[in-house]
Amino acid sequence: MKNVAVIGAGTMGNGIAHTFAQNGFKVQLIDTNDLALKKALETISKNLDRMVAKETITEAIKNTTLSNITTFTNIKEGVEYASLVIEAATENVDLKLTIFKQLDDACPDDTILATNTSSISITHIASITTRPHMVIGMHFMNPVPVMPLVEIIKGYNTSEEVIKTIMDISKKLGKIPVEVHDFPGFVANRILMPMINESIETLYNGVAGVHEIDTVMKLGMAHPMGPLQLADFIGLDVCLSILHVMYDGFKNPKYAPCPLLVNMVKAGKLGVKSGEGFYDYSESKKAEKISKQFLK
């Protein structure tokens, strides 16, 4: 399995493409937006330059990695020879169902279809296809080239052969795959998002300020990044979407998003990507500094 297609050229998509390409896979990076593809290649190149500067890779490895990536704006053309497709589009169930229907129609019959969803049911996504036994979750952590964990989520019909294949591929990427079951939020976000939401509630209730809340969690709980800062890094709209999925799935009020989070998303304060969230990233250098700090 050497041809891998990645759907979506955003933060997660370009990170997944980078990781596969650096490990010898031929990657077809697909996005309907030409500008997004250009930006993704620029991001990958900058991240590789950082790795060269740190002497973790050579200039030759950087060049080989970039040569392993080909971009497409047409799904059918991009997945024509793919043995594995990883969807990394926005965390929206309707969008993902539409993409998987297209992939099912366009991909060879033996292509494994994976999704990088962080909360949406694999079984639900698989149900739109004619190959539910070949649909699986591969939830990478951000930033993908750095973070070792991959949550491997088995849908109700996912075959053991597909699970083994994806576990093996994850290890070839230098990742540590952990198999989990198909419940809303899986493990990572089922634990992380209530913590972030409770941090927002703590701010909303006036218990402490943004800096104070994050400082307590960093110094007291040894978190590398405070929960409010992490929410900014993830994207407040993404956090809200995941909480909605878990609330709808479990019908448990503990997953109901804090009103402050809802209002911030409505106001367009989404974190790093919008220039403002719980912190101010209006100067581009501030956002870049925060990202570099986390990438160290």
- Which residue ranges are tagged as binding site? 8-13, 31, 91, 96, 118, 142, 273
Catalytic residue among 83, 116, 118, 197: 118
- Quick check: is 118 catalytic? yes
- Quick check: is 133 catalytic? no
- Quick check: is 139 catalytic? yes
3-state secondary structure of 199: helix
3-state secondary structure of 27: strand
| Binding positions for NAD(+) | 8-13, 31, 91, 96, 118, 142, 273
Catalytic residue among 121, 189, 199, 241: 189
CA distance 57 to 117: 29
Contact 5, 86 (CB under 8 A): yes
> Which pair of structure tokens corresponds to residue 245?
């999925």
Contact 81, 56 (CB under 8 A): no
Q: How many C-beta atoms lie closer than 10 Å to residue 92's C-beta?
A: 13
Catalytic residue among 139, 197, 241, 244: 139
CA distance 292 to 130: 42
Catalytic residue among 68, 151, 241, 244: 151
3-state secondary structure of 267: coil
Q: Return the active site residues.
A: 118, 139, 151, 189
